[in-house]
């Protein structure tokens, strides 16, 4: 068996003897990525550059930070959540103009952990979760206006009849 595939041996070299991954890789005649793979597989804590004792000037730190920022912008499809350069605090607007907020623990959260903001606001005003047949109507018609005084909690049936009556009134007013 190869030494680097033995957890105790790898732990001893990397943690106890404080060897770099590159040194262990050279010792075994393999790549650094292979050592990194086995270190991660064995859940051996990876040392930070600071823990290893790498000293950098402020200028070098700044250059590294700029390089990382540039990489993140070029690879934004690979970076998500708070680390994404365009993170807006867990809020976004859907294509149908509703606001969704990140609340993964909410019972109505989608698979990504987001909930419609107007539902959360209505529930907090009510002091209880909405029932299955309850929906929220934006009184002024602006789906982005989630002030609690603009939200009307009603049953699905009432909401549909309300919109039907509103469309009849609109048609009468504009088309006679």
Whether the CB-CB separation of 30 and 4 falls below 8 Å is answered with yes
pLDDT at 81: 73
Within a domain: 80: no
109 and 157 both lie in a single domain: yes
171 and 104 both lie in a single domain: yes
Within a domain: 60: no
Best mean pLDDT range from 46-60, 81-95, 153-167: 153-167
Q: Which H/E stretch holds residue 135?
A: strand 134-138
Angle between helices 21-28 and 32-41 in degrees, nearest 10: 110
Whether the CB-CB separation of 137 and 162 falls below 8 Å is answered with yes
1 pLDDT more than 60: no
Kindly report the CA angle at 142 between 137 and 161, in degrees rounded to 5? 30
Q: Looking at the whole model, is its pTM more than 0.85?
A: no
Task: Please give the residue that has the higher pLDDT: either 84 or 133.
Answer: 133
Within a domain: 81: no
What's the maximum distance between 2 C-alpha atoms anywhere in the chain? Answer: 89
Residues spanned by the domain of 118: 91-175
Within a domain: 163: yes
When pLDDT is cut at 50, 70 and 90, the band that residue 102 belongs to is very high
When pLDDT is cut at 50, 70 and 90, the band that residue 66 belongs to is confident
pLDDT in tens, 2-12: 888 999 999 99
31 pLDDT more than 60: yes
Within a domain: 77: no
Mean pLDDT, rounded, for 27-48: 89
How many domains does one find in the chain? 2
């Amino acid at each position: 068996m190869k030494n680097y595939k033995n957890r105790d041996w790898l732990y001893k070299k990397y943690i106890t003897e404080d060897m770099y991954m590159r040194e262990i890789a050279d010792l075994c005649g393999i790549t650094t990525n292979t050592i990194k793979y086995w270190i991660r597989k064995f859940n051996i804590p990876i040392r930070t550059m600071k823990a290893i004792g790498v000293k950098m000037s402020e200028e070098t730190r700044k250059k590294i930070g700029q390089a990382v920022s540039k990489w993140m912008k070029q690879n934004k499809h690979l970076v998500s959540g708070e680390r994404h350069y365009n993170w807006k605090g867990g809020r976004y607007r859907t294509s149908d103009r509703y606001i969704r907020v990140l609340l993964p623990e909410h019972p109505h959260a989608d698979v990504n952990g987001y909930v419609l903001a107007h539902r959360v606001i209505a529930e907090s005003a009510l002091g209880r979760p909405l029932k299955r047949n309850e929906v929220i109507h934006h009184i002024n018609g602006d789906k982005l206006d989630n002030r609690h005084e603009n939200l009307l909690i009603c049953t699905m049936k009432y909401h549909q009849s309300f919109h039907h009556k509103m469309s009849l009134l609109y048609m009468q007013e504009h088309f006679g």
